[in-house]
Amino acid sequence: MPGAAGTGGEGMLSKDTREILLQAEGLKLWRGERCLFRALSFELPEGAVLHVSGANGCGKTSLLRVLCGLTEPEEGEIRWRGRSICRCREDFQHAFAWLGHLHGFKAELSARENLAFSVSLRRETDPDVRNETLGQVGLDAVADLPCRVLSAGQKRRLSLAMILLSAAQLWILDEPFTNLDPKGRNMIADMLDRHCANGGTAIVAAHQDLGVEQRYLRHLEMEDTG
C-alpha cells in the first residue's frame, strides 16, 4: 500500500490569529496505481506563503492543480474563506492567479501586447501601470519585441508581470524560479514579501529556498512514495 505523501502538512502550520483564507482537509490523490498523497491537510492565513517542496515526481504540481480546482481529488475538500471551492468556484477563480510551466503567449505579439491582452481577461489596467510593471520585472528594453524572440528567462519574467497585475489575493506558483538568474530569483522573493505584507497569500512549489522573510513562511514537505 502506498505511503502517505504530504501527511506532514497537517499541523505543520502554526496557529495564527489572522483570517484563514485557504484550507485543505484530508486530500487524497492517485495517479494510476500510485497514491501521490493522502490525508493531506493544512490551513493558510492571509499574509503567508506556503513553500511546497519535495523530490521530482512526488506530486507537487499535482497538489497545486488540485488546489486550483483543475484536478479533482479522490477524497478531501478545499475551502476558500470557509466555503468549498466547489460552491464558490467563480469567486475563487477570480481570487487566485496561476503560474504553471506553460506560458501560453501569442508568439507574434510583443511582450507589451501579450501583457495587455492577458490582464484584460481579468480587469482593466492603465497602460502606464503595465509599462511600470514591465520595468519592474526587467523587460522594459524588450517590451516591444515579439514573444517568439524572447529568451526563456524573459518569458518567465513576463509571466510574473501578469501575476503582479492580476490583483489576485492568492498566487499559486509552480517552480517560478525556472530559467531565472540570481537577480530574477531575488525579484520573486521581493514580490512575495510585498504580496504578503499587503495581506496576500501564496503557494509556491520550488526545490530551492524562497528567500522570503521568515515571518511569512510556512512549509509543506511532500514525500516520495516511489
Q: Give CA 26 to chain center in angstroms.
A: 21
Tens-binned pLDDT, residue by residue, of the chain (226 aa): 233 334 334 344 445 578 999 999 999 999 888 999 999 999 999 999 999 999 988 899 999 999 999 999 999 999 999 999 999 999 999 999 999 888 889 999 999 999 999 999 989 999 999 999 999 999 999 999 999 999 999 999 999 999 999 999 999 999 999 999 999 999 999 999 999 999 999 999 999 999 999 999 999 999 876 5
Q: Where are the domains of the chain?
A: 20-103+168-221
pTM of the model: 0.88
Q: Report the alpha-carbon distance of residue 143 to residue 58 in Å, rounded.
A: 37
Q: What is the rounded CA–CA span in Å between residue 206 and residue 53? A: 6
Question: Edge-to-edge strands of the sheet including 217-221?
Answer: 96-99, 170-174, 201-205, 49-53, 217-221
What would the CATH number be for the domain defined by 20-103+168-221?
A: 3.40.50.300
Scanning the chain, the segments in alpha helix (DSSP H) are 60-68, 89-95, 111-120, 127-136, 152-165, 182-197
